[in-house]
Structure 1
């Protein structure tokens, strides 16, 4: 992989899959809860992935499609874990694929992107809207989901195609003249998919499969035809009501009569293992054609000449040193995010069946880790004084840096290249060979070295010690698997593992840092900054 921070190697660094799991899921997805899956691809080939959570937390046979208790806590049943093969609803990321199917049909002469849409969808009575307007969100059409929310109509109700079309017939005007502005509207994509369906005389899901999914090898992926359509291996979605409490979202499975649903704006069901080939197409146009790819990626030009960041189902977004082709998706507590970086050949996909999970943030963090930009993340310790630094790379490329486990993080802003600037303890952060140079607000620069994972505390550390200068007693106790410190004149507190370097184990307390040699009989120190107290076993 490309490594933007090749100057800071990570000794004993875990593989990328382990790093993804630690950074994105540990402490966020509990056992037996709905969760998320994420993958990194190079040239469309999956090279790393992490999965956490389960496909369904309820006590039922998924394939039966019969809804039972709507709410459940984690661990209520032993269900299949989410994997790279789990089928997930990718919601609005589907727009890319819908647009590709429409462009292929136009290439074959079945459609005219610039003809008045009323020729194929007469239910739309407003003149001047074209397929092109629908695909790049310049049609001026109100969003049907926003309308449903405003009038208190359940999304599952207006997602029935007949109900949607009944509403379309009531439109007597647009929000702005087509091409004048760009405003995200699911309505346009539903109408565009319906136009394709009527032009070729087959249901849109069939056309999508025939022209896009099957040629790419996405043979298990599909677009739903009826509301509540379910396939074996597919995850259900859940919104979170409180800590550990989840409620199944209304997806229509076993809840509504099987009626034809809308298509085009979402509804594609796929997995991590199949999605990579779609991202590979976005890299170089393979299989479906460079002409289709270039049309998808082309930024929209408005009537006043303004060029926007959106093409056909593709947003252009740059964070740190990655210029990505991106899109998000969210529906019925499913969320998804896709990033494709043509320059590096890397791409990332994140799918979640857990309401509130920030798939976009997770995907960008994964991209930073994969590209090497995120190699600055981790635990570091000063080489001269007793000071630690825990650094996390944020989705925008900035850093969240803290001096210890219990401290609130400071934000250090990326300034280009390998430099971040913040305030207080992290006024400037810059890699220096294998080390990290951290400059505080008063101008003192300190070298930090990367720590390996702390693991458990040294087995020989518990016991009674005396500080050399005054003979004050320090006691280290084992309480279960934890190490606790009883300092003189203070309440006992847990020593939180922070990391290891060379032959030393490092832990943190509010009193300061505990530095202990890994070998029995070695040095044990407690201190902070430039001061440390040497402890001698009694």
Structure 2
């Protein structure tokens, strides 16, 4: 049983605010992201449309092409056939795929990218052939028959190649005597309960509930990627290197298998995870469709995917049982960065993200978790964030105002460059300002006049001897409202009876309503 940090009840809304809000318009293609514990959906956030404009909103049920993440499932299907005696991982592949002219290539080489075969998509790009054209299986096999040389001897190097996975799917299909998508469904998807998921069989195949994908033009408009739907003849397409269509609600079952080998078997899981060893003895970080990746405190099984405007990323942390998936139908969306940020957020670093205010001085802090586990930290009084680098555990080291940040049971301890440590507590972010704050005030020591006034829908402060400046809403603590300006922090308890306080660092002063002194 995995031990995990309990998720906050508002995890879904916090993921949406952190990763999607302000980035994706309501009428645009977008992204979906989910956090799972032990393969069970824990929280999700969605933004954008499955088809723009006017399509259905993206949801955890929306079916998307996960592209190269499909390689993990292809490898599992091959390994299950090896277990059943239908395939041999180390036999010359020409016995099943005679179109291949090169000797010495095995299924093992294909699954761990050591076959030395050119990537067919890179070839198509180089010669100006549309991807949809070479993605026809007959065209692919015709090209394969004309490949006359290895790029390197098998197992001498590791070079990512979609070609190997297409070959693996062809070999499995021919050994099983049935189409690869059917084999994948019968041996992997259906046993795991992924009953709505499938691999496409023909080019241009589309199913109800699927999202279209979009790329962004130079003018900023979104252009639909047809994926061949309605534009090409429904001929047989390649499989194995991508083409699996699934949803957030079903994908957790696959990640659950990667955690403990459920349903398909621990032997299949271990074979997927085993890192590749090259002929010179070097061990790589890639197994069969699995990249072993470490960022900050998390070492995970990961893989990316991207094709035709779709992007996807999967992360599984065996130490905590937490996993993350991010799918997008919006070209240019950085699914890997969003997924890793969500992973750090869900596995403990999320307790650090947010708005904080000192319990000892007039100072606030706004922290955001980054994909590499570092923090983007700002005091609230500057536009540019500082980077605080993860230093192990729940400690980050930076500079200036954030020389050291440490999560402690009562909140945060933040140490500035000159060695002073303040304790901070979390505050609830706010977007509005209290109208009860408006009015004229006087500072009693110097009899200085201050004015809080409304300009449009913004709050402005007119201080003595300075230009007016906007007061930005920052947070709410103990019923009181906190605002930020370059002059300092503004604290208002929400009543007219108590003075407003304004200050920065160790200094603050009370402002009394002008009418009270008359």
TM-score by length of 2: 0.95
Residue 469 of structure 1 and its aligned partner are, at CA, apart by 3.0
Greater relative CO, 1 or 2 (CA 8 Å, sep 6+)? 1
Asked if residue 312 in structure 1 is aligned to residue 257 in structure 2, the reply is: no
Q: Where do residues 244-323 of structure 1 align in structure 2 (5 Å cutoff)?
A: 245-323=221-299
Q: Is the 8 A contact 1:39 1:48 kept in 2?
A: yes
- 1:475-518: per-residue Cα shift (whole Å, max 9, x none)? 22234543222333444433211111223211112222211112
> What is the distance in 2 between the residues matched to 1:192 and 1:313?
12
Q: Give 2:47's match in structure 1, choosing from 52, 61, 71.
A: 52
> What is the distance in 1 between the residues matched to 2:455 and 2:234?
58
Q: Where do residues 61-80 of structure 1 align in structure 2 (5 Å cutoff)?
A: 77=54, 79-80=55-56
Moved more, 82-91 or 527-536: 527-536
> What is the distance in 1 between the residues matched to 2:382 and 2:186?
55
Residue 295 of structure 1 and its aligned partner are, at CA, apart by 0.6
Residue 250 of structure 1 and its aligned partner are, at CA, apart by 3.9
What SS is found at the alignment partner of 1:162? helix
1:521 aligns with 497
> What is the distance in 1 between the residues matched to 2:267 and 2:3?
28
> What is the distance in 2 between the residues matched to 1:324 and 1:364?
10
> What is the distance in 1 between the residues matched to 2:100 and 2:77?
22
Q: Where do residues 129-528 of structure 1 align in structure 2 (5 Å cutoff)?
A: 129-241=105-217, 245-404=221-380, 406-528=382-504
> What is the distance in 1 between the residues matched to 2:193 and 2:246?
12
> What is the distance in 2 between the residues matched to 1:217 and 1:227?
26
- 1:85-117: per-residue Cα shift (whole Å, max 9, x none)? 000000000000011111111111111110111
Residue 118 of structure 1 and its aligned partner are, at CA, apart by 0.9
> What is the distance in 1 between the residues matched to 2:444 and 2:219?
47
> What is the distance in 1 between the residues matched to 2:470 and 2:244?
49
- 1:167-204: per-residue Cα shift (whole Å, max 9, x none)? 11121111111011111100100111011111111111
> What is the distance in 2 between the residues matched to 1:19 and 1:254?
39
> What is the distance in 1 between the residues matched to 2:342 and 2:496?
40
What SS is found at the alignment partner of 2:326? strand
2:22 aligns with 27
Moved more, 527-536 or 457-466: 527-536
Asked if residue 82 in structure 1 is aligned to residue 58 in structure 2, the reply is: yes
Q: Which ranges in structure 1 are unaligned for 5 or more consecutive residues? A: 59-76
Residue 455 of structure 1 and its aligned partner are, at CA, apart by 4.7
Q: Is the 8 A contact 1:99 1:135 kept in 2?
A: yes
Classify 1:454/1:522 alpha carbon distance in 2 versus 1 (closer, same or farther; 3 Å): farther
Q: Where do residues 102-117 of structure 1 align in structure 2 (5 Å cutoff)?
A: 102-117=78-93
Residue 27 of structure 1 and its aligned partner are, at CA, apart by 1.1
What SS is found at the alignment partner of 1:498? strand
Q: Is the 8 A contact 1:2 1:371 kept in 2?
A: no
> What is the distance in 2 between the residues matched to 1:252 and 1:154?
11
Q: Is the 8 A contact 1:55 1:236 kept in 2?
A: yes
What SS is found at the alignment partner of 2:191? helix
> What is the distance in 1 between the residues matched to 2:219 and 2:468?
29
Q: Is the 8 A contact 2:381 2:486 kept in 1?
A: no
> What is the distance in 2 between the residues matched to 1:402 and 1:253?
47
> What is the distance in 1 between the residues matched to 2:247 and 2:9?
25
Classify 1:222/1:183 alpha carbon distance in 2 versus 1 (closer, same or farther; 3 Å): same
> What is the distance in 2 between the residues matched to 1:24 and 1:109?
46
Asked if residue 18 in structure 1 is aligned to residue 13 in structure 2, the reply is: yes
2:75 aligns with 99
Residue 530 of structure 1 and its aligned partner are, at CA, apart by 2.5
> What is the distance in 1 between the residues matched to 2:131 and 2:445?
71
- 1:385-430: per-residue Cα shift (whole Å, max 9, x none)? 2221111111121111111164211111111122211122211111
Residue 449 of structure 1 and its aligned partner are, at CA, apart by 1.8
2:32 aligns with 37
> What is the distance in 2 between the residues matched to 1:480 and 1:14?
36
Q: Is the 8 A contact 2:48 2:57 kept in 1?
A: yes
